[in-house]
Amino acid sequence: MRLSHLPVLAFVLATAVPSDANLFARGTQSLARTANRLHHRAAKRSAGLARDLRRAFSGMYYQQELAETGGSQRVYCVNNANAPPAASNGTGSSGSQSSPSGSNGTAASTSARASSSGTAKHASSTAASPSSTSPASSPWKLAKSYQGNSFFDGWDFFTGDDPTHGIVDYVDQGTAQSANLTEINSDGHAIMRVDTTPTVSGNRRSVRITTTYSYTGGLVLLDAVHMPTGCGTWPAFWSNGPNWPAGGEIDIVEGVNDYSDNQATIHTSHGCTIPSSDSSKLGISGNVVGGTNCAAAETNNAGCGMTATQSNTYGVGFNNNGGGVYAMQWVDKGISVWFFQRNNIPSDISANAPLPDNWGTPMAFWPATDCAPFKFFDSHSAIFDTTLCGDWAGNVWNDAGAPGQEQSCAARVGISTCEDFVRNHGAAFADAYWEVNYVKIYQ
Ligand SMILES: *[C@@H]1O[C@H](CO)[C@@H](O)[C@H](O)[C@H]1NC(C)=O
Ligand SMILES: *[C@@H]1O[C@H](CO)[C@@H](O)[C@H](O)[C@H]1NC(C)=O
Ligand SMILES: *[C@@H]1O[C@H](CO)[C@@H](O)[C@H](O)[C@H]1NC(C)=O
């Protein structure tokens, strides 16, 4: 831990949203336990920002370091080293399957399709309901598919320092291939590993990739069989636009260490909120993690996070179940994330004709009523990464009590720091790999 609990608690108290404050009213919890819970929640809340800008824990560390340094500012922002080339006009650079209609045409056509198909969730009552007697045709057209032997075509391999201070060296495509950090396995699945060399003196090698294609509006599907897990790991599948946070960020799959419940989070510029932190009012199966203001600058970059409630959504539970499909829909009515475990994938997805309006309650939903999805988000590229330690995984190393991490990593592996564990126990990272069936982007 870089911080003791007390300053963290003090900071969290100072910034607690009402739902956090309520925790303190519960006489049944000791202060220490409450502090720990708040620490977790704050960690989760702030970790999503960790992406390009990834100054995770930002507010807490930032405030803390301001205090420690007497106000001399430290630069955290490692902005957009992987911003998609020419992202602002949305045409991507990968040629053959690029968006046909230029900058904002895809969003407009998506919206037109959604309303003309009558399947929009909040469409008027005059809209036809999906037919049960004839196969429904999907309003979505496949724009990009990453799968099989050509999976890695159309992704840039990011080779900068990890902006979230993980102890990884992100390698280029050639190195990843020759070091067996990427491969297409015999099932035709794309593998992205971290180096399992027993001991390293500095950083462990890993992979972070970004689509050269970018999209404004759309439906992104990830079918993964396995995801990185275990103490020290911090994997994510997410997307962001240019000029963070102006282009917005959508975290679809994310967590750390042995966590079992996925967290999805958005980060935006000023003006985007969610109308409630009540799951039933939002119409989600997940739980709102923190506050309702999604603006990075006003919330110490907390964003609006929502966690799943099932342990098959992330980590060991996900892997033991053969994974499943994550879907992120970005349309006029808002942004939604669903998860379908392996044996419950809707047939329309398998049939390559997705019908999100038939999928039922999403895990997470950020309604357009309080956050215009085409104002706060644009020109996103999808990203996979696995980092080790760093601002989230490293800083909750000693914490216990999160779902899946009931015991702290320090206690579980018997090593007092994340960095020591990562550098000296390469074999422990045999499970720190993505195995991806496909990523599909529909518009
Ligand atoms: C997109 O941006 C790139 C780089 O700025 C530029 O070369 C290209 O002409 C732009 N395309 C359109 C359609 O604006
Ligand atoms: C993009 O299209 C959406 C949907 O039609 C629209 O609401 C939005 O204003 C457009 N954005 C820009 C920058 O044109
Ligand atoms: C790559 O790594 C995997 C996992 O450790 C191993 O099973 C496989 O044999 C390796 N492939 C090569 C070519 O070394």
For β-strands 381-388 and 233-240, DSSP reports them as antiparallel
Report the number of distinct structural domains present in the chain.
1
Residue 129 lies in a domain: no
> Is 249 one of the catalytic residues?
yes
Give the CA count within 13 Å in the CB-facing half-sphere of 195: 23
Strand partners, 395: none
Q: Closest ligand 2 atom to the C-alpha of 216?
A: 1
Q: What's the pLDDT tens digit per position in 46-86? A: 333 333 333 233 223 333 333 333 322 222 222 223 322 23
| Burial call 273-300: b when 16+ CB within 10 Å, e when fewer | bbeebebeebebbbbbbbbbbbbbeebb
Is the pLDDT assigned to residue 132 strictly greater than 90? no
Confidence of residue 432 (pLDDT cuts 50, 70, 90): very high
In this prediction, residue 301 has a pLDDT band, given cuts at 50, 70 and 90, of: confident
pLDDT band at 111 (very low <50, low <70, confident <90, very high): very low
pLDDT on residue 290: 86
Write out pLDDT tens, residues 250-275. 999 999 999 999 999 999 999 999 99
131 domain residue, yes or no: no
Residue whose CA lies nearest to ligand 1 atom number 10 = 89
> Is 125 exposed, middle or buried, given 0-12, 13-18 or 19+ CB atoms closer than 10 A?
exposed
User: What are the start-end ranges of the H helices in 2-127?
Assistant: 5-15, 18-25, 31-47, 58-69, 102-117
- Gap from CA of 185 to ligand 3 centroid (Å): 9
Residue with tokens 């911003």: 83
- 302 pLDDT band (50/70/90 cuts)? confident
- Going by the DSSP 8-state scheme, the letter that residue 212 receives in this structure is S
- Which stretches of 80-185 are assigned E, i.e. beta strand? 142-147, 155-157, 168-170, 182-184
Which of 191, 172, 179, 163 lies closest to 426 in space, CA to CA? 179
With respect to residue 371, please indicate whether it lies within any of the assigned structural domains.
Answer: yes
Residue 326 — pLDDT band, cuts 50, 70, 90?
very high
Report d(CA 350, CA 357) in Å as an integer: 15
Both tokens assigned to 345: 């994938």
Least confident span in 12-21, 281-290, 378-387, 429-438? 12-21
- For 176, the domain range is 5-121+136-442
Give the whole-angstrom CA distance, residue 96 versus residue 399. Answer: 48
**Residues with Cβ within 8 Å of residue 280, at least 6 apart in sequence:** none
Structure tokens at 416: 């007092």
The pLDDT of residue 314 is above 60: yes
Domain-located, residue 392: yes
Q: Report the distance separating Cα 294 and Cα 305, nearest Å.
A: 9
In a domain, 130, yes or no: no
How many C-alpha atoms does 384 have within 13 Å on its Cβ side? 28
Residue 86 Cβ inside 6 Å of ligand 1? The answer reads yes
Structure confidence at residue 392 (pLDDT): 92
* 395-417 per-residue burial string, b: 16 or more CB within 10 A, e: under 16: bbbbbbebbbbeebbbebbebeb
CATH number of the CATH domain containing 254? 2.60.120.200
End-to-end CA distance of the chain: 44
pLDDT confidence tier of residue 300, bands split at 50, 70 and 90: confident
Residues 187-244: tens digit of each pLDDT: 999 999 999 999 999 999 999 999 999 999 999 999 999 999 999 999 999 999 999 9
- Cα–Cα separations (whole angstroms), residue 63 to 5, 67, 428: 14, 6, 34
Q: How far is the CA of 86 from the centre of ligand 1 (A)?
A: 6
Q: Is 120 helix (H, G, I), strand (E, B) or coil?
A: coil
Residue 190 lies in a domain: yes
* Closest Cα to atom 11 of ligand 2: 374
Q: Is residue 232 part of a domain?
A: yes
Which runs of consecutive H residues, i.e. helices, occur in 321-387?
Answer: 347-350
Spatial separation of the C-alpha atoms in residues 338 and 320, rounded to whole Å: 19
Domain membership flag for residue 128: no
Q: 227 in ligand 2 pocket by Cβ < 6 Å?
A: no
Report the distance separating Cα 236 and Cα 315, nearest Å. Answer: 11
Local structure of residue 419 (DSSP, 8 states)? H
State yes or no: pLDDT of 246 exceeds 70.
Answer: yes
Q: How many CB atoms are located within 10 Å of the residue 428 CB?
A: 18
